[in-house]
Structure 1
Amino acid sequence: MQIKLYDLRKNEKRLTQKEIADYLGISVVSYREKEKGRIAFNSDEMFELSYLFNEPMDHIFLPRKHQFGDNNKQHSGK
Structure 2
Amino acid sequence: MQLVLYDLRKNKKKMTQAEIADYLGISTKTYRSKELGNSEFTMDEMFKIAKLFNMRIDDIFLPREYHIGTKGTK
Q: TM-score, normalised by structure 2?
A: 0.92
Residue of structure 1 equivalent to 2:16:
16
Letter in 1 for 2:59: H
Q: Structure 1 segments of 4 or more deviating over 2 A?
A: none
Matches within 5 A, 1:59-70: 59-69=59-69, 70=71
2:35 is the alignment partner of 1:40: no
Corresponding letter in the other structure for 2:3 = I
Question: Could you report, residue by residue, the CA deviation over 1:6-62 in whole angstroms, capped at 9, with x for unpaired residues?
Answer: 000001110000000000000000000000011000000000000000010000001
Amino acid in structure 2 at the alignment position of 1:15 = M
Q: CA deviation at 1:68?
A: 1.9
Unaligned runs of 5+ in 1: 74-78
Matched to 1:46, the amino acid is M
Q: Could you say which residue in structure 2 is the equivalent of 1:25?
A: 25
Larger Rg: 1
Give the AA of the match of 1:14. K
List alignment gaps of at least 5 residues for structure 2.
none
Normalised by the length of structure 1, the TM-score is: 0.88
